Amino acid sequence: MPVSPSVVIGVDSSTQSAKAVAVDAATGRVLGLGRAPHTVTGTGGARESDPEEWWTALVTAVRAAVRDAGVDPGSVTGIAVAGQQHGLVALGADHRPLRPALLWNDTRSAPHAAALADRFGGPKSWLERTGSVPVASMTAAKWQWLREHEPHHAEATAAVRLPHDLLTERLSGEAVTDPGDASGTCWYAPADGAYDPALLDLLGLTPAQLPTVAPTGATRAGGLTAAAAEALGLPRTVAVAAGTGDNMAAAVGLGLGAAGLLDHPVVSLGTSGTVFAATRGRPADPALAGFAATDGTRLPLGCTLNCTLAVDRFAALLGLDREDALPGGETVVLPYLDGERTPDLPAASGLLTGLRHTTDPRAILGAAYEGAAFTVLRALDGLLAACGLDLADPAVRTRPLRLIGGGARGRTWTDTVRRLSGRPLVVPAATELVALGAAALAAGASTGEDPVALATAWGTGAGETLPALARDEETWERIEGVLGTAAAGLLS
C-alpha cells in the first residue's frame, strides 16, 4: 500500500465561504479541496455573520478536503487558518458569541472611525502608533459602535476576537493571533510588536480580553483539542499554526517577503479590491493600511469595498452575463454600492452618468468594470507613491502586477485591468492562494521552516504572463473627472 505524503491543511475563512486545501507538504501539490458557504446578513450598511457558522463551515470544508485528497487522516501534520480581516467577535463569559460578528464591510461604524481619528493628535499620530488611520472597516471602529449602540453587549464582553483568532482558538484551545491580523485592529502597534496601552484605555479594553500575539503566523499555537480532533476526524498531534489575515496569507502564497520587496505589487479582485506589496518601511499615508506581514516585513495595503460583487450586481440588474460587456465609452459608473473605503466615502452610493438613447446595456456593464478597476488601480498608484516610487518613471509605470482573486479568472476583468493600467499581468495558476498561504504557515508550524521560502519553492505564485496593452488614458481621465465632481458633492 503506498505511503501517504505528509499533508498540511490551509483554510481560507472568507466573507462568503470557508475553503480548505489539503496540500503535500513537500511539493505544495494540492491533493484535495473542500468548501462550505457562509451567510451574510444586514441592510443599510450592516453586514453581519454568525461566528458559529464559520466553525461549522470550517469543519465541513476540512473533512471534504481530506476526503477529496484520499489520504490517511493520520498523515495530516499541520493546519492553519487565514481569515477575513477586521471582523469583531464579542465573546461572553461562556466564550460563546454574544451577537453576530460585525464584518469588515459593515459601514455603520464610519462616524465612530472619524471620531477616533480625531483623538490622540489626529491621523498623523494614529499612523505613527498603529500604521493606519481608523476607517469604518477597522475593528476599533466596530468596537466603538458596539459600545455606543449595544452597551449591554460591550459590558458583557469577556473576550474580543478577530475571525481567524476565533477559529484558531477553537482548533487549539489557545487564545493567539499574529502580527499581521492584529495590525488591522487599530489597537496594535506593529513597530512595538504589542498592543498599544493608551489606545486600549481609550477603547475601554484590557489585554486580558485579547489574544496573545505570536511572533509570526507560522508559530505553533499547540495541537488540536480533543473536541476539534473529533470534529475534524484528525489526530490530536496535528500542529495548529497561529494563522493570519487573508491578505497576509495571500502574500505568503505568492512568496512575497524580504527577498522580493516591491518586485511584484499585487492586485486582488474579490468581494473587495485590494492592492499590497512587501516593504521594509512604513509608508505614512492615511489612505493605506500599514499592516504587518507574517515574516517581519511590512504589507502596506489599499482596499476598496466594491469590486466583483458590485459588478455582478450590475450584470444582474441589466440581465446580462458577467462577461457580456463592452467598453463604457461615454458612460461612467462609480459602483460604490456599499459606500467606499478608498476613496473614503462611506456614505456614497452608486453613480451612473453619460447615458444616451443609443447606450448599449453592455457598455453600462463595461463601465461598471472600469469604475471598479479604476478605483483599485488608483489605490495602487497611491501605494507605490507612498513607498517612494516615482510613478512617472517608465520602469515603475510598466512594472508587472500580480493579479489574484476571483476576478483574475474573468476575461473582462483581466482585459479591463490591462487596458486601464498599461501593465503586464502575472496571473498565478493557483486558484486558492489564501488557503495555500495558510497551508505554508501550517507547514512552518509543523516543521519549523520559513513559510515564505516554502511557498516560493512550491511555486504557488507562478503563472501566465499577459503582455501590457496601451493605457486607456481617455477612459481613466473621464472616470477621474466624474469621481472628483461626485466626491466634492458628497463631502460638501
Say how far residue 73 (Cα) sits from the centre of its chain. Answer: 30
The pLDDT assigned to 462 comes to 87
Beta bridge partners of 275: 267, 302
Residue 492 confidence (pLDDT): 43
Q: Which residue has the higher pLDDT, 427 or 263?
A: 427
Q: What is the pLDDT of residue 289?
A: 85
Domain boundaries, the chain: 7-247
155: left (phi over 0), alpha (psi -120 to 50) or beta: alpha
Cα separation, 266 vs 288, whole angstroms: 14
Q: 246 an active-site residue?
A: yes
pLDDT at 26 over 90: yes
pLDDT tens string 86-144: 999 999 999 999 999 999 989 999 999 999 999 988 999 999 899 899 999 999 999 99
What does the pLDDT average to over 480-489? 88
Q: What is the mean pLDDT of residues 39-64?
A: 96
Domain 7-247 in this protein, CATH class: alpha beta
Cell numbers found for residue 202: 481609550
Tell whether the model's pLDDT for residue 282 goes beyond 80.
no
- In the chain, the percentage of residues whose pLDDT exceeds 70 is 97
Cell numbers that stand for 94 in this block: 461562556
pLDDT at 234: 98
Q: Which residues have C-beta within 8 Å of that of residue 70, sequence separation ≥ 6?
A: 31, 32
Closest by alpha carbon to 234, among 219, 223, 244? 223
Is residue 413 packed enough to be buried (19+ CB in 10 Å), middle (13-18) or exposed (0-12)?
A: buried
Stretch 331-339: mean pLDDT: 95
Is the predicted pLDDT of residue 1 greater than 60, yes or no?
Answer: no
- 339-383 confidence digits (pLDDT tens): 898 888 888 999 999 999 999 999 999 999 999 999 999 999 999
- Reduced to 3 states (helix: H, G, I; strand: E, B; else coil), residue 81 is strand
Rg (CA), the chain: 22
Active-site residue among 12, 246, 295, 472?
Answer: 246
Task: Please identify which residue in the block is written with the cell numbers 453619460.
Answer: 354
Cell output for 195: 498592543
Please report the pLDDT score of residue 334 as a whole number: 97
Quick one: pLDDT at residue 490?
Answer: 60
The model's confidence at residue 280, banded by pLDDT at 50, 70 and 90, is: confident
pLDDT, position 341: 83
* Torsional sign, CA 431, 432, 437, 439: negative
Report whether pLDDT(389) > 90.
no
Provide the pLDDT for residue 261: 47
Distance CA 77, CA 235 (A): 9
Distance CA 308, CA 12 (A): 18
Question: Of the given ranges (20-29, 113-122, 141-150), which has the lowest mean pLDDT?
Answer: 113-122
What is the model's pLDDT at position 30?
97
Q: How confident is the model at residue 84 (pLDDT cuts 50, 70, 90)?
A: very high
Of 197, 114, 479, the residue nearest 331 (C-alpha): 479
pLDDT at position 263 is 58
Its pTM stands at 0.87
Q: Are 130 and 140 contacting, i.e. CB atoms less than 8 angstroms apart?
A: no
pLDDT at residue 278 in the model: 83
What sign does the dihedral 425-430-431-433 (CA atoms) show? negative
Q: Tell me which long-range contacts 390-399 makes (C-beta under 8 A, separation of at least 24).
A: 397/422, 397/423, 398/422, 398/423, 398/424, 398/468, 399/265, 399/423
Q: What is the pLDDT of residues 411-453, one digit of tens each?
A: 999 999 999 999 999 999 888 999 999 999 999 999 999 999 9
Q: For position 488, what pLDDT does the model report?
A: 78
